[in-house]
Structure 1
């Protein structure tokens, strides 16, 4: 069992409290409920809540499973509770204002909590937690590098051998998932987007990668049915001349990487498709070179977008009217983290931030071409941890 070191948890808590005090000198208490943030600060993912006071040490109250929390975590103060009432008895003086994860707490949970913690006001803690999580230390980066190596091996070396005429998108997606898990993937593709359900990612043959979807990404996916728009279609079978588009997540010990690879099955694609793909690879490499401490994400976005011609922009980062307004996103315990390479993200990058960079373009009757890899921000520019194959791998 890989346990989060106590020194790592202590550093995270120290950085978070420092940021809170810098940004909100009047703060007194933060309470955390979500699995991901609980795991980040305590090293275990149990049903409970973490109370972080401005003065004094934090306490992790666990409803279920206290035994597992004790087994998995080095966190210094873990206590069992049957309900919020148990934790409330331990509070000598409740502050008027409590900071909460307003992006993820359901109203019913809030009401149950407020019944026993009758504070007067709440404020959001989400952006401050996200800011601390955005900067990874070497412990986290080493885990993400492991994920990146798995990603590279599966999509660059193994996936081409898996493609055969007549197989369905769903079959390929299921086989990819199985291989990823066998290679060390932790088996989940976690997103912060509300109500987003993804099993492994988007797998599409030809034009299906352009199909409309609620998912906030450049590509599309038919899915298994309207009730389960995931994996891929059972009916769309691989044919000679198809573009194969694979955009899947991988993760190790909670930390994710993101990668997209494309393949030409049985015969080359038209030259204009290959040229569009190569342009996306050039854009990725240009962005990677800009991922240095002090760089401004919004300026990177504008620098790239302002230098693309109108024809290319018509279907860049999507298809027709279904386009996204970013070129990359932070990644870590979730696939979609802050910051984002997009407008209005004006805070300077810091060393140790990690981005998935994904320039893509939709081409009518062909599908989505382009690339995506995961990069660590360094003084030398983005360090790619998911491989350097430019994609459009020929499979004959």
Structure 2
């Protein structure tokens, strides 16, 4: 028997404040009206949570003007507990949506859908349910609302950063002769879990399954994967070809510890380079170069500067220092970004990438991750999550940036 929610009230279970939800919906409504849309039908988990406060199985209708309505298939009781919205109603079938909207006075002619992620079959079902309604992609509008984080959101990301720091520290403490990558990574995973890490790192898009964290050593650190990342690791099998492997970590080789902290749905991304014993001088210089690249980008990270300009600063300095073939992967495995937005998903906008002319704004949260790959040797690099402000950017991940080594 499932316990009633009132009997669970003493268990920590943070909810999204009503002021957050109200302000987000208001911003979306203004943008929907400007785009000539009568409303948006939100179904993707992260967007649903962002605008309603719950991730239960539901459809959220946000009109361009008027009160939002949440129609829940399962679990209605939990949705009513988790969401501050006033109109939370049961939904037997998506076919009932037009009738439910009409009962509330909504007869939309143009509805926005998240067409970047919606399956074709599901889209066709909406076409059948809503006669004489035109659909448009509202994901760019939703993305623009989620782009700038509130003070409350930044607090969640800072807490996620603390968890990420605990994860990487645990990996460092687990390094000893004979330890495997998997054992070191598991120490980091456990350290995060007991601090409240929710263990599901969300990335938008199809087949974007991502490890909680990487602890790759020596040559596996430079292994590429099918994921759009510059580092990947060997993994345990072709079914999960990323992250830690059964490889034993050796003395004097780089250990790349890249961990995503997660708290209350929000993420923080952090990477440090570790070592068992002493890292060779050439790799020490390479690691120092990645810190130099980061600092050059941070010095320019102000409102109005474009994402592409930051990318050019980082990669341009890499070329000046002799690492043009190594930056963000090696050779044909190089990726064309050096950072990314962070929030409820790990690949939020803007990408710090070639061709992205999005200007930075106060309230954006961005991870910068300059990394250098050396085939057969490994990868070194650094990553921090930053808050864009009107002045100096603020670092939200707080581990020391020095190369971290333990005696062998």
Aligned-residue offset at 1:159: 2.5
Aligned-residue offset at 1:378: 1.2
The 1-side partners of 2:301 and 2:392 are apart by: 5
Q: Deviations over 1:98-137 (max 9, x none)?
A: 2110111111222222221234432111111111111001
Select which of 5, 8, 26 maps to 2:20. 8
Q: Which moved more, 1:166-175 or 1:67-76?
A: 166-175
Aligned-residue offset at 1:44: 0.5
1:381 counterpart = 2:392:
yes
SS in 2 for 1:49: strand
The 1-side partners of 2:190 and 2:44 are apart by: 28
The 2-side partners of 1:307 and 1:180 are apart by: 34
Q: Which residue of 1 aligns with 2:195?
A: 183
Select which of 134, 141, 145 maps to 1:121. 134
For residues 136-285 of structure 1, what are the structure 2 equivalents within 5 Å? 136-155=149-168, 157-234=169-246, 236-266=247-277, 268-285=278-295
For residues 88-107 of structure 1, what are the structure 2 equivalents within 5 Å? 88-92=98-102, 94-107=107-120
CA contact (8 A) 1:97 1:119 kept: no
SS in 1 for 2:337: coil
CA contact (8 A) 1:291 1:378 kept: no
Q: Which residue of 2 aligns with 1:134?
A: 147
SS in 2 for 1:51: strand
SS in 2 for 1:259: strand
For residues 29-48 of structure 1, what are the structure 2 equivalents within 5 Å? 29-48=39-58
Aligned-residue offset at 1:182: 0.9
SS in 2 for 1:147: helix
CA contact (8 A) 1:94 1:119 kept: no
Q: Which residue of 2 aligns with 1:365?
A: 376
Q: Deviations over 1:27-84 (max 9, x none)?
A: 1121111010000000000111111112221111111111110111211211111101
Q: Deviations over 1:197-249 (max 9, x none)?
A: 12313221101011121011111211110122244212x11122221111121
CA contact (8 A) 1:261 1:392 kept: yes
Change (3 A) 1:183 1:257: same
The 2-side partners of 1:112 and 1:364 are apart by: 49
Q: Which residue of 1 aligns with 2:326?
A: 315
CA contact (8 A) 1:186 1:251 kept: yes
Aligned-residue offset at 1:185: 1.6
Select which of 74, 78, 83 maps to 1:73. 83
The 2-side partners of 1:388 and 1:170 are apart by: 22
1:304 counterpart = 2:317:
no
The 1-side partners of 2:95 and 2:352 are apart by: 43
Change (3 A) 1:370 1:199: closer
CA contact (8 A) 1:224 1:233 kept: yes
CA contact (8 A) 2:166 2:188 kept: no
Q: TM-score, normalised by structure 2?
A: 0.91
The 1-side partners of 2:131 and 2:114 are apart by: 17
The 2-side partners of 1:243 and 1:305 are apart by: 22
Structure 1: give runs of 5+ residues left out of the alignment: none
Runs of 4+ in 1 over 4 A off after TM superposition: none
CA contact (8 A) 1:38 1:50 kept: yes
The 1-side partners of 2:211 and 2:275 are apart by: 24
Count of residues in Structure 1 that have an aligned counterpart in Structure 2: 391
Q: Which residue of 2 aligns with 1:350?
A: 361
SS in 2 for 1:362: strand
